[in-house]
Structures are given as C-alpha cells and as structure tokens.
Amino acid sequence: MSDSTDTNILKRIEAAGRKVLPMHEFLVQNDPKTFDAFDQFLMNSIYRGDGLSAAHKEMVLACVCVVAGSAAPVIENHCRRALAAGLPKDHLLQAMEITAAVLATRTLASGVNAVMAAGAK
C-alpha cells in the first residue's frame, strides 16, 4: 500500500473520534492491507451511525470488555460513555449482572462437565 493510503487509515481513525494507538501505527507500517480491512470492519460494526443507540453500544462494549479481560480503565470508559449517553445506571448494572451470571454459569458447567466426564456419579 502507498504511504498516502497508510496515512488515510490513521486519518480515518482520528476522524471517527478514535485515538491512534501505537499498534495502529505498527500495523499500518507492517500489514496495511489487513489492517485497512479490519478497520473497515470496525467502522461498519461498532462505529456506524445507525442501529443501536450510543448508550446501548457503550453498554455492550463495557460488557464485552469485561468478558475479554480488558483493563479496568477501558471498561470504566465505556461505562462512563454509556451513562453520559443517557443509559440509566440500573440498566448498566443489570447488563453487568447478566454478564457475570453467564460467565459464572459457563464456569460451573465446565467444571461439572469435567467431573462427570471423569466418571464421578
């Protein structure tokens, strides 16, 4: 890819109000074609203007970040944005509780299934 295309990817990130990260710069330098395709996917899913409200997108992002093991400041930022966009606190709290319940159920099921597979009756 040409330097102008590489620069356009970073400009697109900034124009969307996103922060250009060191990993973005690395990917632009080392695999711009794949990074461009990946960023287009992000722009057409997370950052598109139609569909979910900003509050609901941020709620989903906060919950997914919990599941993905993201750093606390990342999760807090999505929670802050969800609340700032008008999501009621109790909705955000319920979403986190649902997230925790699903994770706990999956964890318990994995353990119980292993005990059953090991031959315990």
For the chain, the structural domain boundaries read 1-48, 54-121
- In which band, very low, low, confident or very high, does the pLDDT at 5 lie, cut at 50, 70 and 90? low
Q: What is the mean pLDDT of the chain?
A: 92
pLDDT higher at 17 or 83: 83
CB neighbour list of residue 66: distance below 8 Å, 6 or more residues apart? 75, 96, 99, 100
Q: Look up residue 119 and give its DSSP letter.
A: T
Per-residue model confidence (pLDDT) at position 120: 76
Angle at 27 between CA 24 and CA 29, to 5 degrees: 110
Instruction: Report DSSP letters for 37-105, one per residue.
Output: HHHHHHHHHTS-SSSS-HHHHHHHHHHHHHHHT--HHHHHHHHHHHHHTT--HHHHHHHHHHHHHHHHH
Q: Give the span between the Cα atoms of 116 and 121, in whole angstroms.
A: 7
> pLDDT tens digit string along 40-55?
999 899 888 888 999 9
